[in-house]
Amino acid sequence: MGGSPKGWTMFRRALRLRSSRVLLVRRLGTRRGGSTLDWDGKVSDIKKKIGSILPGETWAPLYDTRHLPPEHSDVVIVGGGVLGLSVAFWLKQLQKKRDGIRVLVVERDHTYSKASTVLSVGGIRQQFSLPENVQLSLFSVNFLRNINEYLAVVDSPPLDLQFNPSGYLLLASEQGAANLENNVKMQRQEGAKVGLMSPQQLQNKFPWMNVKGVALASYGMEDEGWFDPWSLLQGLRRKVQSMGVLFCQGEVTRFTTSSNSMVTSSGEEVVLKRIYEVHVKMNNSLEYQPVECAIVINAAGAWSGQIAELAGIGKGPPGTLKGTKLPVEPRKRYVYVWHCPQGPGLEMPFIADTNGVYFRREGLGNNYLGGLSPTEEEEPDPINLDVDHDFFQDKVWPHLAQRVPAFQSLKVQNAWAGYYDYNTFDQNGVVGPHPLVVNMYFATGFSGHGLQHAPAVGRAVAEMVLEGHFQTIDMSPFLFSRFHLGEKVLEDNIF
Amino acid sequence: MAAPRSFLCRLALAYNGSSRGIHGLSGAVPPEGNQRKRRTLLQFLSDHFYDVEALRLYLLQIKMSKVHQENRSLAHIREKYGPYIAGAFFVLKQGGAVKFQDHEWIRPNKRGHFSREFLKLQTVPVQAVDASGCAINYDGLDNLLPLKELQSLSLQHCPHVDDWCLSRLYPLAGSLQELSLSGCPQISERGLACLHHLQNLRRLDISNLPAVSYPGLTRILVEEMLPNCEVLGMDEAQGL
């Protein structure tokens, strides 16, 4: 073969050059650019693009929408605290069909820095004066006891609520003694294990206490104590996410409603509204997503009043149903932690004194925590969560030192403030639908005992949404309509 | 189709059991990082298929309902024969031992069978109960609490006895003199705090409780709480 061996070797040399990774000669033309240099990077880019088009991945060719909530959801729960998550859990649990109901939980602050749930002292008791409250507590305690059955998630460690079953001790002076006795009788009828103690028995049992001024005391023997609300919240969150509830970090800024005017049998015109869209605004931006929904649940805690106003509740002439606002507002409460080396030991229960001061043991190192609800005149401004240490000095410490003499010498280690979602009408929760805005359900306003009732209230609201009526516990005294009718459901044992 | 289904159940139970057996249901919790390293095939499948996850959740719930079934209330036996026989029957059924007053210990044999002779002892109170290693839980204590003359109760190595169960023991305060809780993985110092009701207690064994965070300090506090009681276990050598 004659041919041109020189040409052949040149061809082979050119081939070798082209196939090698290292570019020996800088090419003049830009037709091929630097393609062979960046080959690895290009391959991984192509792989990423193919990966994002596959089913199940997010593909937003125009812009990234992963942080936005979905465009449609059956139920939107405003507020991701323990009440909101409890409602989400029971909605999914009671719905027999898997994925039969789509739930979206909208929470403004995923660090829960101002949420009442995590700043709570974590107590649970059955010693209330309303039978419904006692039933709610009994159900919730049952839930907490079997929490690893209710909130079991495959491959996750079991939940440890750090429950201290030390019981509550409510002290009553001469005036409150008869009331306390009636309450205990009612609580025992409902099934709570509460006993009465005379001052002498109290002194024998708790020698470190000064029983001066105590006429009668009620002591919860079982199913009462305190636990860690943060672990309950995390457990609920984990379970609820495994059940398919979607979470969104954003703020609800608008409800779009449609109205329907109807005439009652007496000829009066009533305007019924339905919320069909919720505008969820992202934090630190103007971006919002309208979420089409069927039901909205107001579990926003201390801010429920603002959410209700957005839906138009309370915008009307005062005295009418249309003009009745949701009377829930934030109230600031302080909790102080102190150390007292000679203080009471392991047997100390959660003590609630005659004047409203409450305190309990915290851990094993002689630390205690407690507080006091201020009177109406002394209510602090709820604009921020700053702590007033003078309040402890002037109002709380004298009572502590009087009841437990060892507390005369104590040292405050820590203090924090949290909000009560305070119901100014009667300090009890609001549960159930609004009569005029037909698809907004309330689960709020528990004024300091929301955490201990959360599992039961969640179930009640879920039953109301799915069945249309309350099944396990009858919560009809807690409906919204009582604000218009003026029927107060007062609870005595609130601290 | 019974054979393949039972095989699948056993296979899944084996996988489940290795990581979350009865003793793995409690005790110290490993951090999330450790768990990511040892992902078994079944965990991988659970992450990617809803059916596998639902099946594993169902098997977990079956395991829990078995414990419930063993602890059901024996109300009909209590009505017919009285509280002492009902309590004794409950303990013997679970595999524990029972001692009636002035009688010998009654234990089930290796196969779990026990003689029915104790059914004649309707009016004789139960003096001691040894429920070591039994699957007794909060609901099962329903059957033990009516035993008003119980003097000694041993709950050693019971995997389902936790702080809630301890808070339930106060009805036995009048007679209980000896209580042993050694080796129970779910008991912590918070449950021990509610033993102050048991004022007649003379011997309390709280050795080998893995969930108690500060054993030495807890022992001191329990001794202060129960001044007439001898507290065994949790020596100061064991990590203060």
Closest CB from B138, B164, B193 relative to A166: B193
- Residue A5: its pLDDT value, please? 60
Closest CB from A152, A155, A347 relative to B193: A347
Instruction: Give pLDDT tens digits along chain A (495 positions).
Output: 445 566 666 666 666 655 555 444 555 545 555 556 788 889 998 888 888 777 777 666 777 788 899 999 999 999 999 999 999 999 999 998 888 999 999 999 999 999 999 999 999 999 999 999 999 999 999 999 999 999 999 989 999 999 999 999 999 999 999 999 999 999 999 999 999 999 999 999 999 999 999 999 999 999 999 999 999 999 999 999 999 999 999 999 999 999 999 998 998 899 999 999 999 999 999 999 999 999 999 999 999 999 999 999 999 999 899 999 999 999 999 999 999 999 999 999 999 999 999 999 999 999 999 999 999 899 999 999 999 999 999 999 999 999 999 999 999 999 999 999 999 999 999 999 999 999 999 999 999 999 999 999 999 999 999 999 999 999 999 999 999 999 999 988 888
* Rounded-to-integer distance, Cα B144 and Cα B93, Å: 13
Output the CA–CA distances (angstroms, integers) from residue A146 to A188, A435, B89, B120, B211, in the order listed: 22, 35, 26, 37, 18
Query: A223 CB near a chain B CB, below 8 Å?
Result: yes
Contacts of A145 in chain B (CB under 8 A): 138, 164
Q: How far is B136 from chain A (nearest CA, A)?
A: 15
Residues A139 and A223 sit within 8 Å (Cβ to Cβ): no
**CB count, 10 Å around CB of A470?**
18
Asked if A346 lies within 8 A of B57 by C-beta distance, the reply is no
* Rounded-to-integer distance, Cα A493 and Cα A447, Å: 11
Asked if B221 lies within 8 A of A364 by C-beta distance, the reply is yes
Collapsed DSSP state (helix, strand, coil) of residue A417: strand
* Rounded-to-integer distance, Cα B227 and Cα A31, Å: 93
Which burial class, exposed, middle or buried, applies to A44 when counting CB atoms under 10 A from its CB (0-12, 13-18, 19+)? exposed
Q: Is the pTM of this model over 0.80?
A: yes
Collapsed DSSP state (helix, strand, coil) of residue A194: strand
DSSP state of A164: B
Kindly give, in sequence order, each residue whose CB lies less than 8 Å from that of residue A343, ignoring residues fewer than 6 positions away. A208, A366, A368, A404, A406, A407, A410
Asked if B225 lies within 8 A of A154 by C-beta distance, the reply is no
Query: B93 CB near a chain A CB, below 8 Å?
Result: no
Which burial class, exposed, middle or buried, applies to A351 when counting CB atoms under 10 A from its CB (0-12, 13-18, 19+)? buried
List the alpha helices (DSSP H) in A73-130.
Answer: 82-94
Task: Take residue A199 and report the two structure tokens written for it.
Answer: 């001052």
Residues A283 and A253 sit within 8 Å (Cβ to Cβ): no
- Residue B240: its pLDDT value, please? 47
Q: How far is B53 from chain A (nearest CA, A)?
A: 7
Contacts of B218 in chain A (CB under 8 A): 364
